[in-house]
């Protein structure tokens, strides 16, 4: 299982590019500038939702937040928009503030798979599910204002592609690696859009790159990549570090709409990559996502949410 030769070549080139080695691997070098006190903050009693929390970076994030006193609700799968709506409806009935929403759930499926609702699988998880959950959680996030925040786990893979309105990869020759990169670019642009739309609501929006971590998802989706870099990739805990850091810091230290890596704001575009102007398409994409989110049908759900205790 794997992406096409061309897409994996682009992926590898991004990894090996002299502009990116620190961005991808060098957490130990960057950590020399980390302040230990930043991670000693306690968030006793705050409510956090973490998607994709059954393993890898999501589980490490949930564990890290719970260990600092948060009530953590672990959501494992957001591929069904109807299930996301069902969860949001049930959770909203609790009428509790949400202080932190971590959009971590992610998928890199190399084959073109279509969900029961008719959406390309990568898009359903990485973009539409994330979009729908975030929109539906806004009233509860507003209850936690001015300290509410949404943290979306993107990927350095997005550096290789511009923002595109072809959200479900309409081409005949499907490429899961490219689709994943496109999805992650959408997440970064959506974060900018949300930050602007809700700047007066007391909610901060942040996207981040965790670095390439040795997680079950990477091993399954990119086996050759994972094997060739065995021992060089980050641990799940290292990948989760900046997610937790973003959840703990005073908002005045952060830039809403910003893209973060290793506890610092990072560029969203590589020089000469031609991706910056593409973000103008986000308004049209937002309209499309809104329509698709509303259109998805509800049905009896078996959606599972687990509250983490430590």
Domain ranges of the chain: 5-295
If one compares 231 and 252, the residue with the highest pLDDT of the two is 252
If one compares 301 and 254, the residue with the highest pLDDT of the two is 254
Task: Please determine, for residue 12, whether its predicted confidence score (pLDDT) is greater than 60.
Answer: no
Task: Please determine, for residue 35, whether its predicted confidence score (pLDDT) is greater than 50.
Answer: yes
Predicted local confidence at residue 94, as pLDDT: 93
Number of H helices, E strands in the chain: 12, 8
On average, the pLDDT of the chain sits at 87
Predicted local confidence at residue 310, as pLDDT: 55
pLDDT confidence tier of residue 212, bands split at 50, 70 and 90: confident
25, 234 contact by CB (below 8 A): yes
Lowest mean pLDDT among 87-91, 183-187, 264-268, 299-303: 299-303
* Continuous segment of H or E residues that includes residue 223: helix 223-228
pLDDT average, residue stretch 195-212? 95
If one compares 52 and 7, the residue with the highest pLDDT of the two is 52
Predicted local confidence at residue 2, as pLDDT: 39
Residue with tokens 């990116």: 20
Predicted local confidence at residue 218, as pLDDT: 62
pLDDT confidence tier of residue 118, bands split at 50, 70 and 90: very high
Question: Which residue among 119, 159, 180, 198 is the active-site one?
Answer: 180
Q: Which fold has domain 5-295?
A: Rossmann fold (3.40.50)
pLDDT average, residue stretch 115-121? 97
* Continuous segment of H or E residues that includes residue 24: helix 21-24
Distances (CA, A) of 173 to 3, 77, 180: 11, 27, 15
Predicted local confidence at residue 9, as pLDDT: 43
Active site residue 119: no
Predicted local confidence at residue 30, as pLDDT: 72
Q: How far apart are CA 97 and CA 242, in angstroms?
A: 23
210, 242 contact by CB (below 8 A): yes
Residue 25 region, left (φ>0) first, then alpha (ψ -120 to 50), else beta?
A: alpha
If one compares 106 and 306, the residue with the highest pLDDT of the two is 106
Predicted local confidence at residue 102, as pLDDT: 98
pLDDT average, residue stretch 265-285? 94
What tokens were used for 251? 């908002």
Lowest mean pLDDT among 15-24, 132-141, 301-310: 15-24
102, 135 contact by CB (below 8 A): no
144, 211 contact by CB (below 8 A): no
Predicted local confidence at residue 19, as pLDDT: 39
If one compares 30 and 144, the residue with the highest pLDDT of the two is 144
Predicted local confidence at residue 27, as pLDDT: 61
Predicted local confidence at residue 297, as pLDDT: 59
Q: What are phi and psi of 67, to 5 degrees?
A: -65, -15
């Amino acid at each position: 299982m794997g992406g096409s030769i061309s897409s994996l070549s682009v992926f590898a080139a991004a990894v090996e590019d002299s502009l990116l080695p620190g961005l991808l691997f060098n957490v130990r070098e960057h950590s020399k500038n980390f302040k230990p006190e930043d991670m000693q903050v306690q968030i006793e009693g705050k409510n956090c939702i973490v998607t994709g929390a059954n393993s890898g970076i999501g589980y490490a994030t949930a564990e890290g937040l719970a260990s600092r006193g948060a009530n953590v609700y672990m959501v494992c799968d957001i591929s069904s928009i109807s299930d996301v709506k069902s969860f949001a409806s049930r959770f909203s009935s609790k009428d509790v503030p949400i202080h932190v929403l971590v959009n971590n759930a992610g998928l890199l499926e190399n084959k073109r798979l279509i969900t029961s609702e008719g959406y390309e699988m990568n898009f359903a998880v990485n973009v539409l599910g994330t979009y729908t959950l975030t929109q539906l959680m806004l009233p509860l996030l507003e209850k936690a204002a001015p300290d509410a925040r949404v943290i979306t786990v993107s990927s350095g893979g997005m550096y290789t592609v511009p923002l595109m309105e072809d959200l479900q990869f309409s081409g005949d020759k499907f490429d899961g690696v490219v689709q994943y990169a496109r999805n992650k670019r959408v997440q970064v642009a959506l974060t900018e859009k949300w930050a602007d739309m809700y700047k007066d609501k007391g909610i901060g929006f942040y996207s981040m790159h965790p670095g390439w971590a040795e997680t079950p998802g990477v091993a399954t989706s990119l086996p050759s990549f994972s094997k060739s870099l065995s021992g060089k990739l980050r641990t799940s805990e290292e990948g989760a570090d900046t997610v937790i850091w973003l959840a703990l810091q005073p908002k005045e230290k952060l830039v809403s709409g910003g893209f973060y890596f290793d506890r610092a704001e990072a560029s969203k575009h590589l020089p000469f990559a031609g991706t910056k102007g593409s973000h103008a398409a986000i308004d049209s994409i937002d309209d499309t996502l809104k329509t698709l989110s509303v259109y998805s049908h509800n049905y009896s759900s078996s959606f599972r949410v687990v509250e983490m205790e430590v």
